[in-house]
Structure 1
Amino acid sequence: MRVGIIAPNYYPAETGNAVTVRRIEGQLRLLGCEVRVFPVGRLAGERLQAEVEEFAPQLLHAFHAYQGGRVAHALSKSLGIPYLITLTGTDIYQALCDQRGLEMHGALRGAARLVAFHACVKKRLGEHLPSLEERTVLIHQGVELPAQYAPVEKDAGDEFVFLLPAGLRPVKNVMFPLAPLAELQARYPQVRLELAGPVLENGYAAEVMEALERYPFARYLGVVAHDAMGELYRRVDVVLNTSLTEGGMANTILEALAYAKPVLVSDIEGNRSIIRDGVTGLVYHSPADFCGKAEQLVADAHLRDRLGKNGRCLVGDSCCPEKEAGAYLALYRDILEA
């Protein structure tokens, strides 16, 4: 089977969309598919169409309904091949709700199938476009389960590090933990905050850098290569997600759970789709709640250990990348047979 993937944000390789696409791309190849990724942004217009036409895929698989789906819709009409769209988060939680929504309708309606990571995303789509809900399939995100995941050994007086892995753009809300963690750090001087991720919006990134100057316990690590993230997860103590929206099952949270790290996440649908408060992680509802739960994690090593073990068991049971790719391959076959 020849599959053309239409991928926005394929570069830099550390964005969530890129991590998802690269994982699925690799697993599909292991299943015998011939796959080529067409990165939206680096390829456009006539050049993009010419390269897709030369590859001659049997179908197109787009990620993000606005950024990738509209491109796949246009190529489908031009080349006469079907396409599907994987909904990745900001397309449904932001673009569909603003002026971009109408531009997405044609792409969504023209897709042979739509894929959501979780039922909450499918439900949200159905609230806007009820007729599409029955064509939306659920395929959970996968994550590699590392064999070596034991934390780096620390002494009692070492730093206690909260890690926030996220691209620098407003939806990731990366400045949120600065004030509550500053309050916590006044009581626990060992507390630190580390931010890691690519700059995706320059103006917002400048605001983040300016804010970091006022909080000396926090620092920006820059872009950490995805194959180096494992050592970073092992070194830190808690992983954060402070996003305003997620498309269900954020890659960084799945990876943190795979490394048996306790997580503290914002109370949004995407995070609740994987994190059960007090069982597989902690969910906060306000700055005060964030501060209180962060303090629990600093003070209680047994809590951290329990949450980490539960989280690793969860992703081991529910987030198999081989099953994820197999589900996509079965969906491709259904589309082509139809």
Structure 2
Amino acid sequence: MAASGKPSICIVSPGTARDNNGNWHTADRWAHFLRGDYDIVIQERWSEQWPAPDLLIALHARRSAPSLADFRRHYPDRPALLVLTGTDVYHDIHHDAEAEGALALADALVVLQPAALDELPDAIRPNAHVIYQSAEALAPLPGLPGRQDITMAGHLRGVKDPATFMRAAALVKAPDVFMQHIGAALDADLGRLAERTAADLEHYAWLGGASRELTRDCIRRSHALAICSTMEGGANVIVEAITSGVPVLASDISGNRGMLGDGYAGFFPAGDAAALARLIDRSVQDGAFLATLRAQCAARVPLFAPEAERAALLALVDNLLPSTPRHPIGKKT
């Protein structure tokens, strides 16, 4: 128990504000949700040198596995929650012994969309909860005159597959399409490819890294968001687009299906630049198709409401710290 009298929680996040990535945004948002009832600290790593929290929340099975193992070794009677935030659920827990072992060390697991439950071992699945990420609903912004922006937001690295977005830029036919990518070059080769593509195509721009606020404003001005990833745990950028009325054109992978629904009309085969280009052209030129995408996205908005994420998180945390229950836990999603 902290000096304030509130239970203490340490959120271990392998991403920091400097990294400006999905893990950090999840940690920052959850800390905001929890601070009213708990004392919160966010750290990149936990070890016995730090004060022991009443609850450890570890983000990402592989990257936070050492923190979770140290906590469990020194404080076996204190609860720990493991959040499977991305590639860990679709890759690491199947190929990395430390990540796989982390599943058994946690008292409860969280995945960010329901399709991820299928990746978990049968023995672990009963301990797993789905908590969708959220974003504040913001109205779309007027686009630039004579331009239909297709925005991709995410750092340039292989798993995000920005090369497919660049190849699609060379194939689109609708005259007003402008394709822009926001994100830092974590892969130097992809950064050079983005520079070459921007030099070759007037309707493609690589904008580099940007703040979350600027990125979201760009999304709000867009005709559509493109997400080309080959692997996603549950992309928050999808949430940010949908809660601003911006439809999504998404690679057909499990993580995106879990966020958008199996019947969503805006999927394209992962890595298929020609299919993405056709989807972009159709979204610009076919009003009925665009209306379908917008309606399907609008139907998902309640899933991504901040109050829904906050209620689910508080209920789970209170259940793990039963001495101070405040928020009744509901039925698992």
Q: Is the 8 A contact 1:165 1:196 kept in 2?
A: yes
1:166 to 147, 151, 154: 154
Structure 1 residue 69 and structure 2 residue 65: aligned? yes
Structure 1 residue 29 and structure 2 residue 35: aligned? yes
Distance in 2 separating the partners of 1:69 and 1:208: 34
Are the structure 2 counterparts of residues 13 and 102 from structure 1 closer, same or farther at C-alpha, using a change threshold of 3 Å? closer
Distance in 2 separating the partners of 1:49 and 1:202: 37
2:83 to 68, 82, 86: 86
| Displacement of 1:120 | 1.5
| Displacement of 1:150 | 3.2
Structure 1 residue 15 and structure 2 residue 12: aligned? no
Structure 1 spans left out of the alignment, 5+ residues: none
Structure 1 residue 318 and structure 2 residue 303: aligned? yes
Partner residue of 1:110? 105
Q: Is the 8 A contact 1:63 1:69 kept in 2?
A: no
Distance in 1 separating the partners of 2:261 and 2:183: 26
| Displacement of 1:203 | 4.8
Task: Give the TM-score normalised by the residue count of structure 2.
Answer: 0.85
Partner residue of 1:119? 114
Distance in 2 separating the partners of 1:11 and 1:202: 22
Q: Is the 8 A contact 2:153 2:215 kept in 1?
A: no
SS in 1 for 2:62: helix
Distance in 2 separating the partners of 1:306 and 1:70: 46
Partner residue of 2:219? 233
Are the structure 2 counterparts of residues 199 and 33 from structure 1 closer, same or farther at C-alpha, using a change threshold of 3 Å? farther
Distance in 2 separating the partners of 1:301 and 1:231: 24
1:242 to 212, 224, 228: 228
Structure 1 runs of 4+ off > 6 angstroms? none
Partner residue of 2:327? none
Are the structure 2 counterparts of residues 202 and 8 from structure 1 closer, same or farther at C-alpha, using a change threshold of 3 Å? farther
Partner residue of 2:131? 139
Structure 1 residue 152 and structure 2 residue 142: aligned? yes
| Displacement of 1:258 | 0.7
Q: Deviations over 1:265-290 (max 9, x none)?
A: 000011111224775x5111233322
Give the structure with the larger helix fraction.
Answer: 1
Structure 2 spans left out of the alignment, 5+ residues: 1-6, 324-333
Task: Give the TM-score normalised by the residue count of structure 1.
Answer: 0.84
Counterpart of 1:227 in structure 2: which amino acid?
E
Counterpart of 2:66 in structure 1: which amino acid?
R
Q: How many residues align?
A: 314
